[in-house]
Structure 1
Amino acid sequence: MKKLVLVAIMGVLMISCNEKKKEQEKIAKDPNLEVHEKIAMANGFEEFDSINKVKFTFNVKMNDTVRSERKWAWNLKSGKISLTEKDSTMSYTRKDSLAKEKEYIDQRFVNDSYWLLFPYQLKWSDAKFSDAKTAKAPISEDEMQMLTVSFPSEGGYTPGDSYDIYFDEDYMIQEWVYKASGGGREMATTWEDYQDFNGVKISKMHKSKDGNFELFFTDVSVE
């Protein structure tokens, strides 16, 4: 009986893997999608419209010391966002006009959710995109496809920032380089530990090459 159950489970997993592979191949071959759209779609962009709530904890560790730990609850239908940090909870609703005292929370939410759902920003934002080309990834030094994403020089909290994103044949980001506007700070990290949350694919771990910087997500739920 145990063997039959195991065989049944393996069969279900194989079917699921085959279906996912077919979906990835369909996205890759779709002539109507541009490269940045394929990256968003490969990460489950179409599934996001059916999501009601997203919860996650944003963590930053440097040299084995946790520097940030922010717990977020985002109600997509109402627009209400709650931040719990150091045993204190603050909430606000995203609107065209934002009260001055709420900008602190919104700025952090924009930063943290960009890391969480960056592939979707390729569809949501008004960024500009370079042509994709083959390039050596900064951390693994593997040959991958690379696309530069540039954000407008005006508006937002960090105008003029850009990202070089390195992705595999399934259009999943494996590494990126963040470049601050004005030729300032640069930072390269991995994109790893992908997990599927009701069709929404999230990379839960990002590391620097030397391992001294880690940005990762815990307590992720997508409803």
Structure 2
Amino acid sequence: MKNISAVLLLLLALIGCNNNQKSLNSPTTDKLLKEKDSTENSDIAQRIANANGFESWKDVSEIAFTFNVDRGDNHFERSWVWNRITGDVSMMSATDSLKYNRSQMDSLIMKTDGAFINDKYWLLAPYQIVWDEGTTISEKEDAVAPISKDTLNQLTIVYGNEGGYTPGDAYDFFYDKDFKIREWNYRKGNSEKPSMSTTWENYENFNGIEIAKTHKDSTGNFKLYFTNISVKKEGDN
């Protein structure tokens, strides 16, 4: 079994992503098998999730996607297939490929699972804000979005200081009147200044699940995007 390289994990740190869902979405390892279908959270968080097809998630059996990052002339990608019913995960990159089950973790698998959780958070952040435990949520009307400077509403989620790989991080979600996220800030350690800000754009519906396929920073030098997305529901061939 090959190990995901430290270089790739460093890349994630450089682009402002965390390396484990406990840091990005607070629960231990989302109980290792499947997320909750709902949680006690703010009404706004639930509306954002629902605007992205959350009510269809309970029927999803498998999701596959390729996580891509372009920074200048450098390109990085890795692909995932996740059976959320069984907990089986497959990963393939230019240098590594492996399969594991999220109910059977060891120190080697945790590194790869951290990368999976990072990529899944970018893909499904509108759901994570209602799945995640140990968080503090606040809301603000008529906030100025960091990139477009448009006036949007803002939901801020701060992760607890206990547990996780990088606890205490914060995210500011800027959403429109339809409760669709348009931009966000990542603030490492809940710092006042954003560590990273990107757009949320190029939304597409995949079997009832709405996904923003593209995220760009204000410089145009950084682009994170998803390709090869497929969503299967129970009963699909």
TM-score interval (norm. to shorter): 0.7 to 0.9
Give the percent of matched residue pairs that are identical in Structure 1 and Structure 2. 43
Would you say the 8 A contact 1:148–1:162 is kept in 2?
yes
Larger radius of gyration: 1
Would you say the 8 A contact 2:161–2:167 is kept in 1?
yes
Would you say the 8 A contact 1:166–1:175 is kept in 2?
yes
Work out the number of aligned pairs and report it.
190
- Does residue 141 of structure 2 align to residue 141 of structure 1? no
Please list the CA deviations of residues 41-97 of structure 1 after superposition, one character each: whole Å capped at 9, or x if unmatched: 11111101101110000011101320x2110000011100111012532111112x6
User: Unaligned regions of 5+ residues in structure 2, if any?
Assistant: 1-40, 233-237
Q: Which residue number in structure 1 is paired with residue 209 of structure 2?
A: 200
Take 2:42 and 2:216, find their aligned partners in 1: how far apart are those partners?
30
Correspondence for 1:99 among 99, 102, 106:
106
Q: Which residue number in structure 2 is paired with residue 26 of structure 1?
A: none
Q: Which residue number in structure 2 is paired with residue 81 of structure 1?
A: 89
Would you say the 8 A contact 1:35–1:132 is kept in 2?
no
Would you say the 8 A contact 1:132–1:147 is kept in 2?
yes
Take 1:130 and 1:87, find their aligned partners in 2: how far apart are those partners?
41
- Does residue 125 of structure 2 align to residue 115 of structure 1? no
Q: Which residue number in structure 2 is paired with residue 54 of structure 1?
A: 63
What letter is aligned with 1:171? F
In structure 2, the residue corresponding to 1:153 is in which secondary structure? Answer: coil
In structure 1, the residue corresponding to 2:139 is in which secondary structure? Answer: coil
Shift of 1:157: 2.3
Would you say the 8 A contact 2:170–2:190 is kept in 1?
no
Take 1:185 and 1:171, find their aligned partners in 2: how far apart are those partners?
22
Q: Which residue number in structure 2 is paired with residue 210 of structure 1?
A: 219
Q: Which residue number in structure 1 is paired with residue 9 of structure 2?
A: none
Deviates more, 1:123-132 or 1:180-189: 180-189
User: Unaligned regions of 5+ residues in structure 1, if any?
Assistant: 1-31
Shift of 1:131: 2.4
Would you say the 8 A contact 2:62–2:81 is kept in 1?
yes
Shift of 1:123: 1.1
In structure 2, the residue corresponding to 1:165 is in which secondary structure? Answer: strand
- Does residue 204 of structure 2 align to residue 190 of structure 1? no
What stretches of structure 1 move > 2 A for 4+ residues in a row? 182-185
In structure 2, the residue corresponding to 1:141 is in which secondary structure? Answer: coil
Bigger RCO (CA 8 Å, 6+ sep)? 2
Structure-1-length-normalised TM-score: 0.81
- Does residue 158 of structure 2 align to residue 158 of structure 1? no
Correspondence for 2:54 among 45, 54, 66:
45
Structure-2-length-normalised TM-score: 0.77
Correspondence for 2:131 among 121, 124, 138:
124
Q: Which residue number in structure 1 is paired with residue 79 of structure 2?
A: 71
Q: Which residue number in structure 1 is paired with residue 45 of structure 2?
A: 36
The structure in which a higher percent of residues are helix is 1
Shift of 1:33: 6.8
Would you say the 8 A contact 2:53–2:208 is kept in 1?
yes
In structure 2, the residue corresponding to 1:181 is in which secondary structure? Answer: helix
In structure 2, the residue corresponding to 1:92 is in which secondary structure? Answer: strand
What letter is aligned with 2:80? W
